[in-house]
Structure 1
């Protein structure tokens, strides 16, 4: 038995080359084409994923900035509200003090008016009583002119004692 036969060797090589050519034409070509398409698809998906990641990071940064801005705006609004309420409180206190002073002045004026009215009424009553007492004492010996002088003199004395 021979280990090497040239005719079978060439036949085996020819069969191998024919098989390789057939595989290359009908199997490897479409298989490599599918693999190339798959490689391109995976590569495009990776680049899409990267661009999506970058876009997500950008949106996250924008949202963080928006939140910071919203917090700052809320703080500013609260600060303005505090200042406005402080001003309103001061205005209320000022107006209350002014109203108190006005009411006090009105009360003092009313008291003074009532006092003047009371003094006038008292003078009127005193003069009437004085005339009556004087006329009873003198028993109608005093004429009208003398009576007026007595009343005026008495009123001056009463007016000077206030």
Structure 2
């Protein structure tokens, strides 16, 4: 059989025995390998894992903060929107009230102006009527004088004719 530092040997009685030198060497190599792995692989790997864990924890914390902030902003926006709706409703109601007041004021002003114009027109009509009656009286008087003078042919004086005509016009006015 072959003898090797890694192979189990066989004793004279056919029993297998362990080579302790090989075991110690393998154990020593395994420990050195573990130490090297711990120093060059496990340490940096654990550092990377720790950094990754911290990064994920920070991201979760930031996401929670963002969510809480977004929730607060949403509540603020809802409150502002509700306040804006209430304010808009108040403005609309105030505008309606102002419109009603202005409408009533315009109607009152228009009625007052119409009444004033009507009264003014009545006064003017009355004045025009008086002027027309006066003008008509003068024309009637002139025509009466002219007719009477033609009829009478100068038997009355001008003063007597005017007095007679004025008396006649007054009589006619009183009978009306």
Give the structure 2 partner of residue 160 of structure 1: 174
More displaced stretch, 25-34 vs 72-81: 72-81
Greater RCO (Cα-Cα under 8 Å, separation 6 or more): 1
What is the aligned residue count?
162
Q: In 2, distance between residues paired with 1:72 and 1:104?
A: 47
1:136 Cα deviation after fit:
4.5
Give the structure 1 partner of residue 144 of structure 2: 130
Unaligned residue ranges in structure 2 (runs of 5+)? 1-9
Give the structure 1 partner of residue 126 of structure 2: 112
| Larger fraction in helix | 1
Q: In 2, distance between residues paired with 1:117 and 1:21?
A: 136
Superposition map of 1:1-162 within 5 A: 1=10, 2=15, 5=18, 7=20, 8-143=22-157, 146-162=160-176
CA pair 128-22 structure 1, distance change in 2 beyond 3 A? closer
Q: In 2, distance between residues paired with 1:94 and 1:3?
A: 130
- Please provide the CA RMSD for this pair: 2.6
TM-score with structure 1 length normalisation? 0.80
Q: 1:123, 1:155 within 8 Å by CA — same for their partners in 2?
A: yes
**SS in structure 1 at match of 2:110:** helix
Unaligned residue ranges in structure 1 (runs of 5+)? none
TM-score with structure 2 length normalisation? 0.74
Q: In 2, distance between residues paired with 1:12 and 1:41?
A: 40
Deviations 1:53-101 (A, max 9, x none): 1111122222222222333333333333322322222222222212211
1:140 Cα deviation after fit:
3.5
Specify the structure having the higher radius of gyration (Cα).
2
